[in-house]
Structure 1
Amino acid sequence: MDNLNSDNLNSPQECALVLVDPQAGLGFAVQSMDRQQLLNSLLALVETAQAFGVPIILSTSATKVYSGPPFPAIRELLPDAPVYDRRSMNLWEDAAARQAIVSTGRKKLLFAGMLTEACISFPVLCCLAEGCKPFVVADACGGATVESHRYALDRMTCKGAEVTSWLQVLLEFQRDWTRKETYDKARGLVERFGGGYGMGLKYARDMLAKP
């Protein structure tokens, strides 16, 4: 993809996706949004990263005592990905998980998972101090309450993180629907997960396209 570093938009070549604790046990605690909607956003984000060749780091915590394994739907998309299981709530304090991120060589990090108040915000705040640029994919993050989710987002943005959505990530990577190498996958994801926008794209394809 050409000319993707000429402005302030993110490119797939600059980013890595950090999935923090996408686990059912933590999902029970989410009250900031509908849990199925959260899972759908996580799936859309993972498939977006795969479509554009973005490295994905998958980390979990408390798998044996509370949170359980990653959501089966997430694991189905990433069957061979290493899972960096932690004791600490803060991924940045876990040597193996942190090294997996550093090893990608990417400074722009997309964070998604649970819970926004701790396992998302802690590594985001820490990686800022080391020169990384974190982006919190807010609709793919779940908080314990609507208020505490928002307060955590506010704190992270005040410190320099940026908030985005899975759809913005996809559109920012694609940018131009004439880019044929990712067109089919990107459009397919919008149709499946993009709500009314996806419905409109599907309608245009099925009803308005010339035979």
Structure 2
Amino acid sequence: MSEQRFNGANAALVLIDHQEGTIGWVNSIAHDVLRKNTALLARVATILGMPIVMTSSMEAFVQGPIIKELVEIAPEAHARRIQRMGIINAMDDGDFAAAVHDTGRRNIVLAGVTNDVCTIFPALTLVEEGFNVQVVADAGGSPSAIGEEMALRRMEQAGVMLTATNQIVAELTGSWSTEEGGRIVQLMMAAVA
């Protein structure tokens, strides 16, 4: 895996199962923090013109709709979301895998709910396929602290880079002095206020 720095021109944002029901299962991070961080990632990707791939699982049955923040921030990505019917590893869904490949980006910023089920397996598959993957740990979570820790450890041992929202936002932005950077730093300051 390359240590190439990610930026808006070489990375895609992949969001897995940020649904009302799945967020309700998370106990390793506060729900409002998870939602705020996920929304910030989507806003930054939109500002930087990054491709956004979104997927959901079993919306009508168990896991509920995609969170409203993502619907509002990235309506086109939401409209194109891949709706899986219970396939755990999203990369095993042909439509989702094709959508990720079709971005043309080898650097993937990945966030999902839950990290111990929905995030880990696509992250591992993407690394196996030669992608550079950064999992945004605080834009996801798990039902238990031990589940979260084990998932993050396993991903890191397999070559997934772990990151946090502010860190990846700064990396993607590159400079606060650009027009996009100025907009993003304002979002970041508002998020911590």
Answer yes or no: same fold by TM over 0.5. yes
Q: Does 1:10 align with 2:6?
A: yes
Greater RCO (CA < 8 Å, at least 6 residues apart): 2
SS in 2 for 1:182: helix
Name the counterpart of 1:107: 106
1:173 and 1:41 map into 2 onto residues whose CA distance is 15
The answer to whether the 8 A contact 1:21-1:59 is kept is yes
Going by fraction, where is helix more abundant, 1 or 2? 2
* Bigger radius of gyration: 1
2:89 and 2:4 map into 1 onto residues whose CA distance is 29
Name the counterpart of 1:119: 118
Name the counterpart of 1:21: 17
Change (3 A) 1:175 1:78: closer
92-101 or 162-171: which moved more? 162-171
Name the counterpart of 1:135: 134
Name the counterpart of 1:4: none
Match of 1:182 among 168, 172, 180: 180
Query: Which ranges in structure 2 are unaligned for 5 or more consecutive residues?
Result: none
The answer to whether the 8 A contact 1:128-1:134 is kept is yes
1:13 and 1:121 map into 2 onto residues whose CA distance is 25
The answer to whether the 8 A contact 2:174-2:181 is kept is no
2:175 and 2:137 map into 1 onto residues whose CA distance is 24
Name the counterpart of 1:50: 46
Q: CA deviation at 1:52?
A: 1.0
1:140 and 1:156 map into 2 onto residues whose CA distance is 15
The answer to whether the 8 A contact 1:42-1:113 is kept is no
Q: Once the two structures are superposed, what CA deviation does each residue of 1:101-154 show, in whole Å capped at 9, x if it has no partner?
A: 000111111111201011100101111111111110011011111111111000
1:117 and 1:135 map into 2 onto residues whose CA distance is 15
2:170 and 2:40 map into 1 onto residues whose CA distance is 12
Name the counterpart of 1:34: 30
Q: CA deviation at 1:169?
A: 1.5
1:174 and 1:16 map into 2 onto residues whose CA distance is 13
The sequence identity of aligned pairs, in percent, is 28
Letter in 2 for 1:65: F
Letter in 1 for 2:171: E
2:20 and 2:143 map into 1 onto residues whose CA distance is 14
TM-score (norm 2): 0.93
1:115 and 1:185 map into 2 onto residues whose CA distance is 30
Query: Which ranges in structure 1 are unaligned for 5 or more consecutive residues?
Result: 1-6, 200-211
Match of 2:84 among 66, 83, 86: 86
TM-score (norm 1): 0.85
The answer to whether the 8 A contact 2:137-2:162 is kept is yes
Q: CA deviation at 1:174?
A: 2.3
Equivalent residue pairs, number: 188
SS in 2 for 1:75: helix
SS in 2 for 1:66: helix
Q: CA deviation at 1:9?
A: 2.0
Q: Once the two structures are superposed, what CA deviation does each residue of 1:52-85 show, in whole Å capped at 9, x if it has no partner?
A: 1111001000111101110112111122221101
1:25 and 1:118 map into 2 onto residues whose CA distance is 14
